[in-house]
Amino acid sequence: MFEYHWRTRPVRSFVTSMRLALRPQRLWQHVDIHDRPPVKALVGLAAASILLTVFVALGSSTVVMWATSRPFVQTPTGQWAPGPLQISDLWRTMLEMLATILEITPAILSWCGSSFLALIVFRQSMRLCKVRTGHVVRVWAYAVPLPMTCLSVAVVVWAGVGWAVASWAPRHELTHHLLRCVYLASPIVIPVGFAAFVIWSIWCGYRHYIGMRHAFWVALAAQVMAVLLTATVLLAINELSRAWGAL
């Protein structure tokens, strides 16, 4: 696990921890509650996960926007097809997507921080289970920031589908429309599926690792509070930006 081997094997332990985060039921059944969590290493794991997610999202979104922004040209047979890729447009596209990612980053940071604060709210339950803040940090790190790196893989798939939609020949009309439906539905399906996975992961951690009663409702309530807190922060940022623009 990364929290124990981040000095000697940072890459290998990070990949191992990411694989464990995808199997929370098995992970939390093999982690001892009496093992003192290294909080600094867990915070570093969370920070590395968020940074990697942002970079992968930037790269994949740049590729898909670069591929789909190609102008259509008419072929010798009279059909319209996407034109060749222009390397000169890649840098401009990356700068545009970087601005978009920077706008999304506050939402990611707010949601991660709100998820942790929401879990800390249950102080009475933590005292009953004799749980310290470090145990909550461990569950949070493996249930919230680390799976976001795995979510970036879904973003890469989304980028690949977008590439296929832009490049598919017109003679494959049915497949083209099917890929287009998948591409358009993914911005809704991916966040909903990820939220469900986070709730399940927190539930497994609180049930098998911490041993807290009503673990599912704790996980669900924490995520509801996290979403509300994130929405509040984003609204506040939006209002501040409007006020700054008015000045």
For residue 128, count CB atoms less than 10 angstroms from its CB and return exposed for 0-12, middle for 13-18, buried for 19 or more: exposed
Q: Which helix (H) or strand (E) holds 23?
A: none
Q: pLDDT (tens digit, 9 = 90+) per residue, 134-185?
A: 888 899 989 888 888 777 777 777 666 666 665 555 555 656 666 667 667 7
- Say what the pLDDT of residue 166 is: 59
Q: What average pLDDT does range 218-245 have in this prediction?
A: 84
Q: pLDDT (tens digit, 9 = 90+) per residue, 6-39?
A: 888 888 888 888 888 888 888 888 888 888 888 8
What percentage of the chain carries pLDDT values higher than 90? 2
Q: What is the mean pLDDT of the chain?
A: 78
- Say what the pLDDT of residue 100 is: 73
β-pair partners for 80 = 74
Reference 200, options 151, 139, 131; nearest CA is 139
Q: pLDDT (tens digit, 9 = 90+) per residue, 87-127?
A: 666 777 777 777 777 777 888 888 888 888 888 887 777 77
Contacts of 17 (CB under 8 A, 6+ apart): 1, 2, 3, 45, 142, 146
Residue 63 backbone dihedrals phi, psi, to 5 degrees? -65, -45
Q: What average pLDDT does range 50-74 have in this prediction?
A: 72
- Say what the pLDDT of residue 203 is: 92
- Say what the pLDDT of residue 175 is: 61
73 torsion bin: left (phi>0), alpha (psi -120 to 50), beta (else) = beta
Contacts of 32 (CB under 8 A, 6+ apart): none
Q: pLDDT (tens digit, 9 = 90+) per residue, 46-59?
A: 888 888 888 877 77
Grade residue 77 by pLDDT with cuts at 50, 70 and 90. low
**CA separation, residue 163 to residues 61, 65, 70, 191, 193 (Å):** 10, 9, 11, 21, 23
